[in-house]
Amino acid sequence: MILLENVSYKYDDGILALDGASIEIKEGERIALIGPNGAGKSTLLTLIAGLKKQCGGKMKIQGKTGIVFQDPDDQIFMPRVWDDVAFGPINQGIPNEQIEERVNWALESVGMQGFEERAPHHLSFGERKRVAIAGILAMKPNVLLLDEPTANLDPRGVRELWNLLLGLGGTQIIATHDMGIAAKCDRIIIIHKGKAVWSGTGISKEVLEKYDLA
């Protein structure tokens, strides 16, 4: 379960990215976070992931979170794909014999088996994105936070990612501009000017227009 009450966050330069956001997400829900550029979606995800501390309000996060950043280059840093994906589980103290299995499973899940020995910085953007996702999957978080996971993926990659998400258990929070993906989630939350302003399924054109999404 994830509970945010009136959460605010101000960046060092004074930008108020979250301005009293209140959100409740049940265990096992697949949530789409939508909202225009600069609304606060990425900031919200990093707070839920525990990478930043809120400036005001209350937060309650149950379970182990794993976040896939909007930009894979913020995530990938090892010289070899295999090491990058193995980094998380190794740091979690997973026994050695299970690491191989985890890495293989994670790379296969994102369709990147065969890339183990490649240098991540020589991969295409979409391939790097998949490696970044694999690195988080390999840690088996209960709460999976994905920031624009389908951006720069080809149509088949988008379909495969969606099928992967359907097959994984746990809570998933997906920040996306892809309305097709959003519509398939259990519930949509609209973030607008640092607040959660709407939640539900089946958004009307009026709501989309009201929140600068049409």
From start to end of the chain, where are the E strands? Answer: 2-10, 16-25, 30-34, 56-61, 65-68, 143-147, 171-175, 187-192, 195-200
Q: Select from 198, 192, 201 the least CA-distant residue to 44.
A: 192
Q: Find the shortest distance in angstroms from Cβ 168 to ligand ATP.
A: 23
Residues of this chain, 55-94, that bind ligand ATP according to CB under 6 A: 70
Q: Residue 200 forms beta bridges with which residues? A: 188
Regarding 75 and contact with Mg ion (CB under 5 A), the answer is no
Of the ranges 35-43, 74-82, 166-174, 197-205, which one interacts with ligand ATP (CB under 6 A)?
Answer: 35-43
Q: Measured on CA atoms in the order 124, 125, 130, 134, is the torsion positive or negative?
A: positive
Angle at 42 between CA 208 and CA 134, to 5 degrees: 115
Q: Find the shortest distance in angstroms from Cβ 138 to ligand ATP.
A: 25
Q: Find the shortest distance in angstroms from Cβ 38 to ligand ATP.
A: 4
Regarding 42 and contact with Mg ion (CB under 5 A), the answer is yes
Regarding 150 and contact with Mg ion (CB under 5 A), the answer is no
- Say which entry of ligand ATP, Mg ion, none residue 65 contacts (CB below 5 to 8 A, set by partner kind): none
Q: Find the shortest distance in angstroms from Cβ 13 to ligand ATP.
A: 5
